Amino acid sequence: NKMLPDKVSEQLKPLSVPGTEDVDEEASQEDYEYRLKGFIDSTMDKSAKNRLFALVGLKTAFSSKILYDLILERRLTLTDSIERCLKKGKSEEQCAAAAVASLLCIQLGSSIESEEVFKSLRSILKTIFTDESASIQTRKANCFYCQQDLRLTMTYLESLFSALYWKEEQPEWMQNNQTTMLHISALIAWTLLLTICPPSLVTQTLEKHMSKLPTLLSCGDVNMRIAAGETMALLFELARDICEDFDYEDMELLCAQLKCLATDSNKYRAKTDRKKQRSVFRDVLRTVEKGDFDSETIAFGPERMYIDSWVKKRSYETFKEVLGSGIRLHLQANEFVRGLFELGPPPLLDAATLKATKISRVERHYYNAAVCKARTKARNKSRDKRTDIGEYI
């Protein structure tokens, strides 16, 4: 339902009276949390429409705010609600529930509570993910969550996108756009998992797929061609990290294919598709041929993060897809996300800096709460004589 996000945003908008901002700040925070509690309660509603509205509300809130304390208090209720929606709901509700599950784990970070949430939902999410009778949209929504059993999950993801390796054997159902999107999501999720694999598994994967993946560059869908090209670039990057003298057997043929895509001017393809494709494949070709990467700078508040590899780019784009416009706030204040990108603990910012970066009152409150939490955890860890100081550093 396209109207749901707008209605939810209106519900979550903080209350304020002009000229009384400082007085109303605490009241606004309490009102915001009260509305969120209402969304959590509504996920158990008998009405599917009300449950969906509540899930979209939670998705919007979890992606745009740091809500660790509130979520921690209601973790069990949230987990039960998500599981119920996944089991009882239809496609749209299941997709929203899967998204909330991912955001819930991002909010809780690398804590025991996050692991418990994952274990509670893993079985039902895996069942939906591997159920060919489930809607394609629902299975696609689960691609980025079902990643606990690394080898098993990668094998299943491979079975989805590798079906496109041999074009002449493609049945008619593979031409469906929704099915192609599922294969693209499977390839992207597989690539993301590959970035955290041990070198031995990476080497096995390279031997198995390096010569076959280029066949996906001829796919009729521009998004599949782009996903395949970015995957090839990432594979070359990983291969060279393992062996500096890595040599690809069909390098000349592959580079010719990449150059063709980087200069594609076929009129039967949409102009926007050609433009997007050429931009991506110029970068892919540069990596494959020379091992270079055109770095990108991500600004969030007063800080900067440099995307200087395909591995980091894949991780960033995954979080960006899950968090949407809230990615910058989480990069700035979410301890778990900052840890993944090696940004260190959230910095202490004075009021003038916070105001200059245009952070709202509610965001400033949650940001300061996140900083306080990170500082307290760090101090407690330092005070614990049993902690290995080398590990802490």
Q: Which runs of consecutive H residues, i.e. helices, occur in 131-176?
A: 136-141, 150-161
Tell me the pLDDT band of 44, cut-offs 50, 70 and 90: very high
- DSSP letters along 166-226, please? -GGG--GGGG-HHHHHHHHHHHHHHHHHHTTS-HHHHHHHHHHHTTTGGGGGG-SSHHHHH
Cβ burial 291-303 (10 Å sphere, 16+ → b, else e): eebeeeeeebbeb
pLDDT digits (tens, 9 = 90+) for 286-311: 999 999 998 899 998 889 999 999 99
Is pLDDT at 334 greater than 50 in this prediction?
A: yes
Q: Can you give the C-alpha Rg of the chain in angstroms?
A: 23
- E strand or H helix at 303: strand 303-307
pLDDT digits (tens, 9 = 90+) for 137-182: 777 666 655 545 677 788 888 888 887 886 544 444 445 577 788 8
Give pLDDT, residue 366. Answer: 60
Is pLDDT at 75 greater than 60 in this prediction?
A: yes
Torsion of CA 49, 50, 51, 57, to 10 degrees: 110
Give pLDDT, residue 389. Answer: 34
Tell me the pLDDT band of 244, cut-offs 50, 70 and 90: confident
Distance set, CA 27 to CA 9, 179, 216, 362, 363 (Å):
18, 48, 55, 10, 14
Least reliable range by pLDDT among 113-122, 215-224, 261-270, 327-336: 261-270
Give percent of the chain with pLDDT exceeding 90: 42
Residues 6+ apart with CB under 8 A from 142: 98, 125, 126, 128, 129
pLDDT digits (tens, 9 = 90+) for 136-148: 677 766 665 554 5
Least reliable range by pLDDT among 78-82, 211-215, 387-391: 387-391
Give pLDDT, residue 314. Answer: 94
- CA angle 178-180-186, nearest 5°? 110
pLDDT digits (tens, 9 = 90+) for 21-30: 444 556 677 7
